[in-house]
Amino acid sequence: MTATNPPRLTTPAAPTHAAPAAIPVVAIVGLSLAALASGVSLRLADALLPRLSQEFSISLGQASQVITAFAVAYGLSQLLFGPLGDRFGKYRVIAWACAASALTSLLCALAQSHPALIAGRLVAGASAAAVIPLAMAWIGDVVPYERRQAVLARFLIGQITGFAIGVWAGGFAAEHLDWRTPFFGVAALFLTVAVVLQWVRRGLPASAVAPRAAAPGNLLQRTVGEFGAVLAKPWARVVLVTVFLEGAAVYGPFAFIASHLHQRFGLPLSTVGALVMLFALGGLGFALSARVLVRRLGEVVLVRTGSVFMATALALLACAPDWGWAMPACALMGLGFYMMHNTLQTHATQMAPERRGAAVASFASSFFLGQSVGVGLAGLLVGHIGTAWVLGAGGAALLAVAWNFNHQRRSHAGVAAGMA
């Protein structure tokens, strides 16, 4: 049955740069490769946690600080990269960020202690912060709203694949290699992507890479003004709070799935990494079918169903009597996450069209700050209540977040319809 969509929340603005037909496919592919590198860097440490715990003689919760540090830096750096993307051109800043990420990944590989690795992950999170949100904002600039969710889904195939490779590489290295090896690999990957993006950028139409005209005032004044204007919009605040809570509820438990399967079933970390890769398979399923799902289900059903899928998956992972249940559970969680999160991302590209760089940067900042809070809380709780309870709590929280967003969305749609 086809769901009926509520009234449009905002009036889609026309792309601010080039017409969609003027944008070659290779431009989206280049951004997808950058998202792949960012995804690898983001999830690389998950399956490494037990190895890092042994390597530095620290608890699992302490080891998870390398994930928290990355997420905090990633989130806070959005306050810088959003305005920079508008000022110098989003595509150019993404290429610069990939080059910087090659250096910061190298710092992680060369770390000789746990505090040094935390410091390396901190700067790695800051440098990688520009990639995905600015890419989303650039797509928002050049792709009309009615086509945007499907294009964003295809772009995110890179990030989804990066998540899978990151978890697998971390698990494989934990079992068979020096823990530093995958960080060297990420550095090489970022450097390659930076070169590709610079090459692609030179072939794009000038209107697609031109910076936006700067507002009056210095950089600090413009930055405060941009983000203040976004936060002044009530619906933008709803989206930002929702994605903060989503990040905490999803990635707090997610960071400990590999450790849970390793401890509960005695699986090798390389095997666990391969199982968690199935999260990406579910996400890929959504990306390939996004056009049909969006048209047939509508945003409300996508959010509701996505949260139910994720809660079910986390419950299975927490309580399953056999590790085989982890395979369908991880795939179901990936499908559910992208059903819900891609809907929120689409709203992020339209909640302040005239300040899209700052709007999407605010969205990404909220999401990753939520992740850092979620991982931090999960790290504190895991030693007291165990990984299974942490997973279950995340599922319950996701159901509440999705219900509240759909409730707020219906209210806002009614107000928008009344003003039309």
What pLDDT does residue 417 have? 46
What domains does the chain contain, in order, with CATH numbers? 20-419 (1.20.1250.20)
Bin 41: left if φ > 0, else alpha if -120 < ψ < 50, else beta: alpha
Give the number of other CB atoms < 10 A from CB of residue 40. Answer: 27
**Which residue, 139, 390, 168, is CA-closest to 279?**
168
Half-sphere exposure of 394 (CA within 13 A, CB side): 38
What distance in Å separates the CA atoms of residue 243 and residue 365, rounded to the nearest whole number?
Answer: 9
What global pTM score does this model have? 0.67
What pLDDT does residue 185 have? 92
What distance in Å separates the CA atoms of residue 150 and residue 33, rounded to the nearest whole number?
Answer: 17
What distance in Å separates the CA atoms of residue 367 and residue 128, rounded to the nearest whole number?
Answer: 14
> Given CA atoms 91, 96, 101, 102 in this order, what sign does their dihedral have?
positive
**Sequential pLDDT tens for the chain (420 residues):** 334 343 333 434 444 444 444 567 788 888 889 999 998 988 888 778 888 888 888 887 788 888 888 878 887 887 777 777 777 888 888 999 999 999 999 999 998 888 999 999 999 999 998 888 888 878 877 777 667 767 777 787 788 788 878 878 887 888 888 888 999 999 999 999 999 998 887 877 666 666 665 555 555 666 677 777 787 788 888 889 999 999 999 888 887 887 788 888 887 777 777 777 788 788 878 877 877 887 788 888 899 999 999 999 999 998 888 888 888 998 999 899 988 988 888 888 777 766 776 787 788 788 878 887 888 888 888 777 888 888 988 999 999 999 999 888 877 665 444 444
Contact 95, 194 (CB under 8 A): yes
Give the number of other CB atoms < 10 A from CB of residue 8. Answer: 14
What pLDDT does residue 220 have? 63
What distance in Å separates the CA atoms of residue 39 and residue 27, rounded to the nearest whole number?
Answer: 18
Tell me the two tokens of residue 175.
């079992």
What pLDDT does residue 119 have? 92
The three-class DSSP label of residue 347 is helix
What pLDDT does residue 16 have? 43
**Which residue, 324, 334, 315, 301, is CA-closest to 403?**
301
Q: Please give, one letter per residue, the 3-state secondary structure of 26-85.
A: HHHHHHHHHHHHHHHHHHCCCCCHHHHHHHHCCCHHHHCHHHHHHHHHHHHHHHHHHHHH
**Which residue, 15, 349, 316, 297, is CA-closest to 156?**
349
**Which residue, 278, 382, 393, 380, is CA-closest to 337?**
278
What pLDDT does residue 3 have? 41
